[in-house]
Structure 1
Amino acid sequence: MSEHHLIPLTANQPRHFYRGGANIGRFRGGPPPDDHRPEDWVGSTTSRFGGGDAGLTVLPDGRPLRAAVAADPDGWLGPEHVRSWGDTPALLVKLLDAGQRLPVHVHPSREFARAHLGSAFGKTEAWLVMGVPDGGEGRVHLGFREDVGRSRLREWVRVQNGAAMLATMNPVTVRPGDSVLVPAGLPHAVGAGVFLVEVQEPTDFSVMLEWANFSPDGADSDLRLGWDTAVTCVDVRAHSAEEMAGLVRRPAELPECEPGVRRVWAEDADAFFRAELVAGGAELAASFAVLIVLRGAGELRGFGETTPLTKGQTVLVPYGAGPLEVRGDVEILRCLPPVPDGVQANGGAP
């Protein structure tokens, strides 16, 4: 395995249609180039929808991460992962800072993506809330409260009645430390001032049901499928407030699966991605991973090398780095690919 070093990463913030990025700058310790850099794509082999290189991570030696992984998939990802997923990490991690409310949108399922987008991956995603507006609470919207029906939704999209869409959705209060699972197909919107880590399937597929006042011409809002097809990926059924609240876990509800390791999302997410909150003293099995240092300072030890860690740092971990030990008063979000076929998850590590 030619790749085995831990790789600290710099910010990777492609320009976007919505405002944000200041909270990413404060967290990482460096301001963004402008106020339309609301997402930091961390350890990304996924590019923005429509092609080009935007979104792709470039390693410190100048190689695109995508090319490095393709040249040595076993070393980067591990043989069990490669047997299940090939030479893709099957994972995308972002820091996302909503400088304004995000539009109502939805992501397609794997089944829809296979049928219409030529992709094995859809875009189930999940969030770990890092910050909220002053006052201690943030707001997201999840799912419709009533059965909307496709013709009604199609008319809202045609006339761009975002207010009606939002008014029919479930408002959900979130606080720092909360984790939220967002299944593919579920319409959602993130409120202004919410800063989060987003862990998702490795695509940039978003059906933008609302684009007025966000993207002037609504380009690619229907993923170039036509709206009659695009709206069929949307879950238009009624979802109760209690059902949507069930997608949220509070910090005290996160189970410890191993010493110093707490599982962020329920096992329902394992087929799509996994994440752990890791503290000093934890021992981590070999795996491709994206690390985000949430607080404190410490170090990672493994393979005869020590990597210092400080708040705001992001680190790329190849499988070939082997087992690691976490030292110090530090908390890390360890983002992991889905469980390989035939492998039993054990504390989130294959």
Structure 2
Amino acid sequence: MSQAMSGEQPGGAASAPLRLPANFVPRFYRGGSRLGPFRRIATGPYDGEDWVGSTTQALGAPEGLGPSRLADGRLLAEAVAADPEGFLGPDHVAAFGTSTELLVKLLDPDERLAVHYHPDQEFARIHLGCAHGKTEAWVVLDAPADGAVHLGFREEVSAEALAALSQAQDSVAMLAALNRVPVQAGDAILVPAGVPHAVGAGVFAVELQEPTDWSLMLEHAGLDLGEGGEWHLGLGPDMALAAVDRSGWTPERLAELRLPAPLPLAPGVARLLPERADPFFRAESVSAGALLAAAFSVLVCVDGELALVDEAGGRTVMTAGESVLLPYRYGRCALEGSGRAVRCLPPPTDSAAVTGAR
């Protein structure tokens, strides 16, 4: 990446794009065979997740695993805390405080992920003492010809049937109860909290999430969930299963979780997720001709080469596999070049009125 990525202002704020080095968080599943070449760095057999722009601690992992460090060695969380308005903008701070409201990952499983689900905000607030649940979304970068995700029960499942399914740990029966959704590069799918799901082997994606690591495992037999790890997060099976969305997800309901195609918003900018994602995060495809407003955001260059041109004419070039954080204080920038990036943003500030200020 050309141009020095420092530009720090007094007090720790940044006035230039900040490079986000790879931040692998080893998990219990095998992964990383596409992620390593994409990031141009060696990966281990369990490096299937790169937490990009993270202020979130990984559950069941050593302290400090999960939060991102900037190229100068500072934790992103520390840099934001030193100058929240510089990084996040005054409106964001007024609505959400110093929380970035966003966790971005590169997800690269080499095997199918176990069926799991995440608590919503209300459940997390009441039972986990946390303001955030874990609604998430996938922006697919690559997938095999038969690539698929499993998402939502095909038909409504009773509480008794769900408990029996969990106790039996019958993987075949679990997958049969879920919708199999074929995916290919370019697809973007919202995954509401509570909906059981599993990403198939070889599906490489940018993943946007609320900034937590809450996961409840419907399929958990034989998994190593880390030190002190329990599939039910210590809540007990009955309470944990109460967080599952047991409703049936028909093809019509599933269609509401994605757009038929990226929705053009402005030259070089297209919305990737339906509006129902906005209270949690936003994702855009950006390319040459885009004029990006000042906002805290994470850019992942997924193809070719892009130049970010600031209002003073300064240029920062990023190529496929690189990611940068744009602080609010960086201001507006224009994009030039032949590449494309996924731009990940927190919810708009008026979403605080919908979800409740954190």
Report the TM range for the smaller structure's normalisation: over 0.9
**TM-score (norm: length of structure 2):** 0.91
Query: Deviations 1:112-144 (Å, cap 9, x if unpaired)?
Result: 1111111111111111111112xx241111111
Identity %: 48
Query: Aligned to 1:341, what secondary structure does the other structure show?
Result: helix
Distance verdict in 2 for CA 1:240–1:224, change over 3 Å: same
Instruction: Name 1:18's counterpart in structure 2.
Output: 29
2:268 and 2:146 map into 1 onto residues whose CA distance is 27
**Alignment of 1:145 onto 2:141:** no
- How many residue pairs get aligned? The number is 339
1:7 pairs with one of 2, 18, 22:
18
Offset at 1:216?
A: 7.3
**TM-score (norm: length of structure 1):** 0.93
Instruction: Name 2:282's counterpart in structure 1.
Output: 274
Offset at 1:303?
A: 4.9
Tell me the amino acid that sits aligned with residue 17 of structure 1: F
Instruction: Name 1:335's counterpart in structure 2.
Output: 344
1:296 pairs with one of 291, 304, 318:
304
Offset at 1:67?
A: 1.0
**Alignment of 1:164 onto 2:187:** no
2:203 and 2:69 map into 1 onto residues whose CA distance is 27
Offset at 1:158?
A: 2.1
1:343 and 1:160 map into 2 onto residues whose CA distance is 39
CA contact (8 A) 1:46 1:204 kept: yes
CA contact (8 A) 2:294 2:329 kept: yes
Offset at 1:273?
A: 0.1
Instruction: Name 2:257's counterpart in structure 1.
Output: 247
Query: Aligned to 2:94, what secondary structure does the other structure show?
Result: helix
Instruction: Name 2:135's counterpart in structure 1.
Output: 124
1:161 and 1:298 map into 2 onto residues whose CA distance is 47
Instruction: Name 1:84's counterpart in structure 2.
Output: 95
Instruction: Name 1:62's counterpart in structure 2.
Output: 73
Instruction: Name 1:95's counterpart in structure 2.
Output: 106
Tell me the amino acid that sits aligned with residue 167 of structure 2: R
1:283 pairs with one of 288, 291, 295:
291
The runs of 5 or more residues in structure 1 that have no matched partner are 345-350
Query: Deviations 1:277-332 (Å, cap 9, x if unpaired)?
Result: 01111100000000000111121011532111111111111111111111111111
Residues 227-242 of structure 1 mapped to structure 2, 5 A cutoff: 227-242=237-252
1:298 and 1:241 map into 2 onto residues whose CA distance is 37
1:332 and 1:131 map into 2 onto residues whose CA distance is 14
1:76 and 1:196 map into 2 onto residues whose CA distance is 26
The runs of 5 or more residues in structure 2 that have no matched partner are 1-8, 354-358
2:225 and 2:339 map into 1 onto residues whose CA distance is 43
Query: Deviations 1:197-227 (Å, cap 9, x if unpaired)?
Result: 1011111011011112433799321111111
Instruction: Name 2:270's counterpart in structure 1.
Output: 262
Instruction: Name 1:348's counterpart in structure 2.
Output: none
2:132 and 2:351 map into 1 onto residues whose CA distance is 19
Offset at 1:60?
A: 1.6
Tell me the amino acid that sits aligned with residue 27 of structure 1: F
Instruction: Name 2:234's counterpart in structure 1.
Output: 224
Offset at 1:241?
A: 3.1
Instruction: Name 1:176's counterpart in structure 2.
Output: 185
1:244 and 1:330 map into 2 onto residues whose CA distance is 31
Query: Deviations 1:33-55 (Å, cap 9, x if unpaired)?
Result: x1101000001011112572111
Offset at 1:255?
A: 1.2
2:94 and 2:332 map into 1 onto residues whose CA distance is 21
Tell me the amino acid that sits aligned with residue 101 of structure 1: R
Distance verdict in 2 for CA 1:216–1:342, change over 3 Å: closer
Offset at 1:246?
A: 3.7
CA contact (8 A) 1:22 1:31 kept: no
2:330 pairs with one of 318, 321, 324:
321
1:161 and 1:245 map into 2 onto residues whose CA distance is 28
2:240 and 2:221 map into 1 onto residues whose CA distance is 17
Instruction: Name 2:5's counterpart in structure 1.
Output: none
Query: Deviations 1:11-41 (Å, cap 9, x if unpaired)?
Result: 1001110010111112111221x11010000
Offset at 1:149?
A: 1.4
Distance verdict in 2 for CA 1:249–1:226, change over 3 Å: same
Query: Aligned to 1:192, what secondary structure does the other structure show?
Result: coil
1:31 and 1:131 map into 2 onto residues whose CA distance is 19
Q: State the superposition RMSD in angstroms.
A: 1.8
Query: Deviations 1:246-300 (Å, cap 9, x if unpaired)?
Result: 42335xx211111110001111111000011011111000000000001111210
1:95 and 1:335 map into 2 onto residues whose CA distance is 12
Tell me the amino acid that sits aligned with residue 9 of structure 1: L
Instruction: Name 1:347's counterpart in structure 2.
Output: none
Distance verdict in 2 for CA 1:76–1:173, change over 3 Å: same
Distance verdict in 2 for CA 1:147–1:343, change over 3 Å: closer
Tell me the amino acid that sits aligned with residue 181 of structure 2: V
User: Which deviates more, 55-64 or 75-84?
Assistant: 55-64
